[in-house]
Amino acid sequence: MARKEMTFKIGGEAGQGVESTGAGFAKALARGGWHIFGMQDYYSRIRGGHNFYQIRVSEKPIYSHVEPVDLLLALTQEAVDRHCDEVVTGGGVICEECLEVDCRALDERDVHYFPAPLTDIAQEHGGSEVMRNTAALGVAAGLIAFPFEVMASVIEDNFKKKSAEAVKANLRVGEAAYRFAQDTYPGEFDYELPRIDDAPTRMVMNGNEALALGALLGGCKFVAGYPMTPATSVLQWMAAHGERYGVVIKHTEDEIAAILMVIGAAHMGVRAMAPTSGGGFSLMTEGLGLAGITETPIVLFEAQRPGPATGLATRTEQGDLLFVLHASQGEFPRIILSPGSVEECFEAGWRAFNLAEKYQCPAIILSDNFLANSVRSIDTNFQLRPGCGGGTREIVQEGYGAHVAG
């Protein structure tokens, strides 16, 4: 009997498209009716260093990842070396034919080896080896009998901004790799993820996107900040969607300017927010005291990273609670919200503004890298608590800031 719950891991080098490949595959699986949870791991550099994206798939809602891997898509030798030992009995490894794989060790653990000419398929059908990650996804979809038309719809969405030719090239590569897997390895993999036709429409979104959407629905009209991982995507989301809803976005020269601009906007009656991380929040502490003494209802979003000092931008930690409780000179009331799920991030986005305005004091939302970047599939008909503003249902169903799966 084919297994219908599994974990994929896509490993490669920074700059190789690991994150976009994983996000696209997660979106396709959700569009096919499956519940997904996706997480990424990356270094603080533009290129170089090993990255991976992990996707857990299930028929039931899921809220975290698991360590064992059922199907590894290794784009580099380092991915093979690092992750082959994580593959479970009965699982599989997809990689370029030229990479060195200890087949004996895989056989001893009953792990299937699926070598594929990914680069050749990418060059022959797409004209560039850059598309070998699309080829890898095509092979994976072919092995698990996941409908290619669902993959094709995501490829079209992801590449249509580049050009029509980019869409066509990636479709040719993906379909060729899909056929290669079905022709070369028919019935060799004991996993199957067919399309679930009666599944509801779902969004795929991470904690930061949910928080930004909640802030928008809570009446946020001004956002100022200096980009600081892992809070930067809140600024990006607002920059992409704010104009449509009358939100002013300011990319400031530093975090001191950000909080002062937010205080000024809130003092004039505008709901205003500043996203940052621990190092940036450190610079905001004197401004926080100004908001406290003037009883100005600002909202700060603090996505924590390991410290001290500038810290580790792409690693997760939850070590700033005492810091935000006692930050700034003197004593004054402040409200702290700490969401633990994507849905709670959405709720915190609007509740922080309501609470800050009700009690005329700063409100601080605490998150972390894991929650900020991990994506989940969420039904668009999830229950909304009262108090998050008008037009909520319509905007959520349109899926702004999220990847609508259906």
User: CB–CB of 325/333 below 8 Å?
Assistant: no
- Residue 93 and residue 186 in one domain: yes
Residues 171 and 234 in one domain: no
State pTM to two decimals.
Answer: 0.88
DSSP state of 3: B
Same domain, 163 and 260: no
Is 356 inside a domain boundary?
Answer: yes
Total Cβ atoms within 10 A of residue 65: 15
Contact (Cβ atoms closer than 8 angstroms) between residue 324 and residue 378: no
Kindly state whether residues 171 and 195 are assigned to the same domain: yes
Taking only the tens place, the pLDDT of each residue in 189-233 is 999 999 998 899 899 999 999 999 999 999 999 999 999 999 999
Antiparallel, parallel or unpaired: β 335-337 and 363-368: parallel
Closest Cα partner for 135 from 156, 121, 155, 150? Answer: 121
Identify whether residues 177 and 274 lie together within a single domain. no
- 190 lies in the same domain as 245: no
Beta bridge partners of 69: 87
| In a domain? residue 39 | yes
Kindly state whether residue 399 falls inside one of the protein's structural domains. no
Helix, strand and coil in the chain, % to nearest 5: 45, 20, 35
Residue 386 lies in a domain: no
Domain holding 366: CATH number?
3.40.50.970
Distance, in Å, from the CA atom of 88 to the CA atom of 85, rounded to the nearest integer, reads 8
- Domain range for 63: 6-199
| Tens-level pLDDT at each residue, the chain (406 residues) | 456 789 999 999 988 889 999 999 999 999 999 999 999 998 877 667 899 999 999 999 999 999 999 999 999 999 999 999 999 999 999 999 999 999 999 999 999 999 999 999 999 999 888 899 999 999 999 999 999 999 999 999 989 888 999 999 999 999 999 999 999 999 899 999 999 988 998 999 999 999 999 999 999 999 999 999 999 999 999 999 999 999 999 999 999 999 999 999 999 999 999 999 999 999 999 999 999 999 999 999 999 999 888 888 888 999 999 999 999 999 999 999 999 999 999 999 999 999 999 999 999 999 999 999 999 999 877 655 555 544 444 444 444 434 434 3
Whether residues 152 and 54 fall in one domain: yes
Tell whether 333 is covered by a domain.
yes
Of 318, 317, 254, which Cα lies nearest the Cα of 283?
254
Q: Are residues 268 and 321 in the same domain?
A: yes
Q: Tell me, yes or no, whether 401 lies in a domain.
A: no
Number of independent structural domains in the chain: 2
Is residue 117 domain-shared with residue 216, that is, in the same domain?
Answer: no
CA dist 230 and 338 (Å) reads: 15
Q: Do both 188 and 225 map to the same domain?
A: no
Angle (nearest 5°) at CA 198 between 193 and 199: 70
Separation between Cα atoms, residue 75 and residue 10, nearest integer Å: 8
Does 396 reside within a domain? no
Beta strands at 202-206 and 375-379: parallel, antiparallel or unpaired: antiparallel
* Residues 240 and 168 reside in one and the same domain: no
Chain centroid offset of residue 247 CA: 23
| 94 backbone dihedrals φ, ψ, rounded to 5° | -105, 130
Judge whether 147 lies within some domain: yes
Size (the chain), residues: 406
For residues 175 and 229, membership in a common domain is answered with no
- Return the bridge partners of 159, or none: none
Domain's final residue, options 199, 233, 268: 199
- The CATH code of the domain that includes 35 is 3.40.920.10
